[in-house]
Amino acid sequence: MNIGIIGGLGFIGTNLYKLLIKKKYKITIIDSLKVKNNINYFKHKIVNYDVSKKKNLNLILKKFDIVINLAGQTGVLESLNNPSYSIENNIVSFSNIVDALQNSKCKVLINASTGGAIYGESKKNCNETHPKNPKSIYGLTKKFNEDYTSILTDKIKFNIIHLRFANVFGEFSFHKQSLIHNTIKNCLLNKTTYIFGNGTQKRNFIYVNDLTKIIEKCFKISSGTYNVSSPKSYTVKSFINLVKQIYPNAKFKYLNFNKGEVKIVNISNSKLKKKLKLKNNNFTKFKEAIIHTSNWYVKNLKNNIKYSPKIT
């Protein structure tokens, strides 16, 4: 099976690549090379191309059976500070991909969408029928892409699977600035982690190794939209308490909430579990996944580490 991974040099793409090469898939990475931290982990061909540019994209994508789109701008704050960049790299790029695949051999397009940012503020357990109410430009771009393909359903010849990711964390994430990644790096470098808000905000997470296995399972399903998260959500305070079990010297400072950030969202993964026949034990326990991630950082930040506890 011939697979193209757009944005494959990123954090999720690197983990997905390492899984799929073990399964003997034929893989091509299409990437703009804006983030090069992980490039040395790749042995297969890398096509240097920015999919926000349409010229020749149909030629690049025409040979793939499955295309996985992981490219785009992913930060809430960044999207508010530079909306045009978010629109170009999320909406324009996605539209270009869909158009280019119309005359290809592609059978499945798997697209990275978002969970929390697309639902907006909600204390309810959000399933895929829950109203989409984004509070950021980033969430709005993901909503647009889902609505775009919904309108064009009759004209699109391949299956499109939108995966609404929860907060993804794990290995190969040097450049990521999310809560978990920043906290682990700060703990190892004896720095303070700044928490935007009072810690009562609630999030769903998904460990990247669980996510990549789910993406592979989606190769054989029909079009649809699915929340991808672990079975349980956590408050930021409960995450901090867990971190302090691993890093007793961890330092935190609370600041004001960031504009556009969703405070509370609970994402249901029931539809995904039913479709892929998953059980709760198919998801890595939260503390265990954080320890795996921490151990990776210990190994790969070893030249800069000031505080290096034994992690078990």
Q: Please give the DSSP secondary-structure letter assigned to residue 9.
A: T
CATH at 160: 3.40.50.720
In a domain, 257, yes or no: no
Residue 302 has a pLDDT of: 63
Residue 142 has a pLDDT of: 96
Higher pLDDT, 271 or 45: 271
The residue assigned the tokens 């992913």 is: 74
In a domain, 238, yes or no: no
pTM: 0.92
In a domain, 279, yes or no: no
pLDDT tens digits, 143-163:
999 999 999 999 999 999 999
Look at the chain and report how many structural domains it folds into: 1
Residue 125 has a pLDDT of: 86
Lowest-confidence region among 37-46, 183-192, 248-257, 268-277: 37-46
Q: What is the mean pLDDT of residues 209-230?
A: 97
| Pure H helices in the chain | 11-22, 57-61, 76-81, 83-86, 93-101, 116-119, 137-151, 179-188, 208-217, 236-246, 270-276, 286-300
Lowest-confidence region among 73-82, 174-183, 237-246, 258-267: 258-267
| Structural domain range at position 119 | 2-169+205-228
Q: Please give the DSSP secondary-structure letter assigned to residue 7.
A: T
Q: Is the pLDDT of residue 211 over 80?
A: yes
254 pLDDT band, cuts 50/70/90, is: very high
In a domain, 11, yes or no: yes
In a domain, 65, yes or no: yes
In a domain, 235, yes or no: no
In a domain, 177, yes or no: no
Tokens of 176: 């990521």
Residue 107 has a pLDDT of: 97
Q: What is the mean pLDDT of residues 184-209?
A: 93
In a domain, 130, yes or no: yes
36 pLDDT band, cuts 50/70/90, is: confident
Residue 312 has a pLDDT of: 30
Higher pLDDT, 178 or 70: 70
